[in-house]
Amino acid sequence: MTVCHILREDPELAEAVPRAARSRAIETCVARTATVASGRWSARGTGAGEGAIGLLVLDGVLLRRVGVDGRFGAELLGQGDLLRPWQEEDGSAALTRTTGWRVLEPARLAVLDEAAARRLAAYPELTGRLVARALDRSRHLAVNMAIIHQARVHVRLHMMFWHLAERWGRVRSEGIFLPLSLTHSVLADLVAARRPTVTTGLAELYRRQLVRDLPRGWLLLGEPPGELLATCGSSAARG
């Protein structure tokens, strides 16, 4: 079993603790870790009970995929996100659905079980920060919903790339580099479209020189798609 110092691994979380108590918090807030290889993930075997806070992503990229009546949607999760994958397996949903997880890049998770929760409870500010992260995730999902309501798939893709770049993008001289190896199938889930339609949409973005496919990611060229959305007769609120 390996153990991590949660706040050392996640400096943004550590900043929630007052400076006078921060050093001690960094040393005392420890948790077990779980590593997950790329591929399908059952989300079992972490040893976290029902009373656990959840799993905190330390490294890696995961895809949560949800399907209803053969149609799928998805969200990307990465460093700093809080997961409770067992929470959606209770079978009590009124609408029949399928849920699956895929690890796109090998992941390392902090298991915030009951023992870790007791350590974190000594610093109440951490609770607020973790709740804020959960709310941020819900806001990202709301943006995803707005994106998939755009009529044209190439517009959805353009918006989704820039939405992901707000979190993962890196500035380069030639544009914004998005270091995510997203296949056409993954992009199809993210923008709620069929894979062949996504391939056609990407071709349109290449033609307009808005996106370039790189070996380990994507290069976004030009400006975010606000003007493009206006041209398509749509409007979007960004925040």
**Confidence (pTM):** 0.85
Q: What is the largest CA-CA distance in the chain?
A: 56
pLDDT band at residue 123, thresholds of 50, 70 and 90?
very high
The pLDDT assigned to 231 comes to: 37
Query: Domains in the chain, please, with CATH?
Result: 3-130 (2.60.120.10), 149-231 (1.10.10.10)
| DSSP secondary structure code for residue 63 in this structure | E
Q: Is 100 helix (H, G, I), strand (E, B) or coil?
A: strand
- Specify whether the CB–CB gap between 29 and 93 falls below 8 A: no
Q: Is 120 helix (H, G, I), strand (E, B) or coil?
A: helix
Q: What is the pLDDT of residues 126-176, one digit of tens each?
A: 999 999 999 999 899 889 989 999 999 999 999 999 999 999 999 999 999
pLDDT band at residue 68, thresholds of 50, 70 and 90?
confident
Tally of CA atoms within 13 A in the half-sphere of 16 that contains its CB: 20
Q: What is the pLDDT of residues 70-92, one digit of tens each?
A: 677 899 999 999 998 877 655 55
The pLDDT assigned to 90 comes to: 53
The pLDDT assigned to 100 comes to: 86
Kindly report the CA angle at 190 between 188 and 194, in degrees rounded to 5?
A: 20
Q: Which residues of 68-101 are buried (b: 16+ CB within 10 A; e: fewer)?
A: eeeebbbbbbbbbbbbebbeeeeeeeeeeeeeeb
Start-to-end Cα distance in the chain: 41
> In which residue are the tokens 């809080």 written?
82
Task: Indicate the burial class of 102 (C-beta count within 10 angstroms; 0-12, 13-18, 19 or more).
Answer: middle
Q: Which residues of 213-236 are buried (b: 16+ CB within 10 A; e: fewer)?
A: eeeebbbbeeebbeebbeeeebee
Q: What is the pLDDT of residues 1-27, one digit of tens each?
A: 699 999 999 999 999 999 999 999 999
Q: What is the pLDDT of residues 23-57, one digit of tens each?
A: 999 999 999 999 999 999 987 767 676 778 999 99
